[in-house]
Amino acid sequence: MISSLWNLGAFIVALGILVAIHEFGHFWVARRCGVKVLRFSIGFGKTIWMRTGKDGTEYAVAMIPLGGFVKMLDERVDDVPEELKSQSFNRKPVLARIAIVAAGPLANFALAIVAFWFMFMIGVPSVKPVIGEVVPHSVMADAGVTNKAIITAIDGQKVQDWNDVSLKLIEHMGEPSMVMQLYLEETNYTVSRQVDLSEWQFDPERESPITSMGLTPYRPAVSQELAEVIKGGAGEKAGLLAGDKIIAIAQQPIDSWAMLVEKVQNSPDQTLAVSILRNGQQLELTMTPKGKTGTDGSFKGYLGVAPVVASYPEDYLVDIQYGILDSVQQSVERTWQLTALTFKMIGRLITGDISLNNLSGPISIAKSAGASADYGLVYFLGFLALISVNLGLMNLMPLPVLDGGHLVYYTFELITGRPVSEKIQEFGFKIGSVIIMLLTGLALFNDFARL
């Protein structure tokens, strides 16, 4: 319950920022072009706060935080007094109307750049992409990738951490192959491996692009000693304490944390005998792992304990941080990378190279918002930038109900010298509305399927 509320809160904060910036883009340019703005609203539905500014614009916050709007004076919608007609949107030159409409998505790209700039200025603590294990007969194993290698570049483009690797792998979805550069610590050599992607299967509901390739990132050694026992969990009820070391379950010796996890998960709601070491003495306890249904639908046991984990080697750690000017360059490059990647993914969705199951809606976004907020400000900034880029691109799609559709109409008017007929515009709005509803419905269906 608390986790859901946290996700919802983070989602509302993120969406509020994104919508406010998007609508402010329209608002700011409209005012500069001499258009009278009647209302600036964040959210839809019942108004929960409103005030009228000295400029005569109503500023409002509404109940449903899933969007917003800027209502401008327009003779096509309202009866406009003669003295105000010069301030109507429809009376402005076509280039001014194009600028006003394009300003919303452009504001989202600007927000992404600013968010990334702050993120790189603060610094992102991360770890180098060191390969812990390669799954036999996997895509990477067939390419000759080995354990303990450090991924340094993909198709000649440098990668610094596993996040960079994930983005690069996603970029290659639907492509036949890629080249991966690896630094081999044992031999002090850098080698290249041609990776065949024709058999690569990636299900985002169940795995990451990294694990789907057969890669397991390096992790420091995990002890059987307990670092934490969660209050109210099955471990606390069994009498386990921080500092205990589990050495056997059901009289079966336990020699690794992975073995312990497997035994617990395979024994939901079953009473088990457990042997532990506490202060050098062996004790016998009984525990009953609490059964829960996981995200993949399987019923597993959970103990509610966390292990003692060794630290990463110092040379595996990296702090991705830049100065003021370098951060500007990095933020622009990252925004462009995400923009190009999104365009590529949209194209592959259309061609069928990527399944429509990859579409996500507000529930998945809310979960991601909560997770990024959990990790701290820099990760939330990265999430905000990612969603801002996607929102900007979505609004540029050439569907009449979106900014992109309006831009198509105004571009036609700019080229031909005459506006698109109202009949064609109305038909386009209907078609666009249906497409948006279908995509939204599919995204929501995918969200609920992942719950």
**Whether residue 175 is found in the same domain as residue 241:** no
Is 362 a residue whose pLDDT tops 50?
no
| CA 407/CA 441 separation, integer angstroms | 25
Last residue of a domain, one of 310, 342, 374: 310
Last residue of a domain, one of 296, 320, 344: 320
Residue with tokens 């703005």: 37
**Whether residue 166 is found in the same domain as residue 235:** no
The token pair at 401 is: 């109900």
Last residue of a domain, one of 300, 320, 340: 320
Among 75-79, 287-291, 400-404, name the most confident range. Answer: 287-291
Is 252 a residue whose pLDDT tops 80?
yes
Is 363 a residue whose pLDDT tops 60?
no
Q: Please indicate, yes or no, if residue 190 is contained in any of the structural domains.
A: yes
Judge whether 43 and 68 are in contact, CB under 8 Å. yes
| CA 434/CA 400 separation, integer angstroms | 11
> In this structure, what DSSP letter does residue 252 have?
E
Residue 237 pLDDT: 92
**Whether residue 23 is found in the same domain as residue 113:** yes
**Whether residue 276 is found in the same domain as residue 396:** no
List the domain range (segments joined by +) for residue 163: 124-220+311-320
Report how many domains make up the chain. 3
In the three-class reduction of DSSP (H, G, I as helix; E, B as strand; rest coil), residue 291 is classed as strand
C-alpha R_g of the chain:
27
Is 117 a residue whose pLDDT tops 50?
yes
- Give the angle 11-16-22 at the CA atoms, nearest 5°: 125
Q: Please indicate, yes or no, if residue 180 is contained in any of the structural domains.
A: yes
Residue 351 pLDDT: 57
Q: Give the active site residues.
A: 23
**Whether residue 156 is found in the same domain as residue 200:** yes
**Whether residue 189 is found in the same domain as residue 230:** no
**Whether residue 286 is found in the same domain as residue 231:** yes
**Whether residue 117 is found in the same domain as residue 130:** no
265-276 pLDDT, tens digit each: 998 999 999 999
Residue 5 pLDDT: 55
Q: Please indicate, yes or no, if residue 207 is contained in any of the structural domains.
A: yes
327-358 pLDDT, tens digit each: 999 999 989 888 887 777 666 565 555 554 54
Q: Please indicate, yes or no, if residue 48 is contained in any of the structural domains.
A: no
**Whether residue 315 is found in the same domain as residue 168:** yes
In the three-class reduction of DSSP (H, G, I as helix; E, B as strand; rest coil), residue 325 is classed as helix
206-240 pLDDT, tens digit each: 678 888 899 989 888 888 899 999 998 889 999 99
Residue 104 pLDDT: 93
Q: Please indicate, yes or no, if residue 98 is contained in any of the structural domains.
A: yes
What's the rounded mean pLDDT across residues 106-129?
91
Q: How crowded is the C-beta side of 65, counted as CA atoms within 13 Å?
A: 16
**Whether residue 156 is found in the same domain as residue 304:** no
Q: Please indicate, yes or no, if residue 56 is contained in any of the structural domains.
A: no
Q: Please indicate, yes or no, if residue 359 is contained in any of the structural domains.
A: no
Higher pLDDT, 202 or 196: 196
Tell if the pTM clears 0.75, that is, is over it.
no
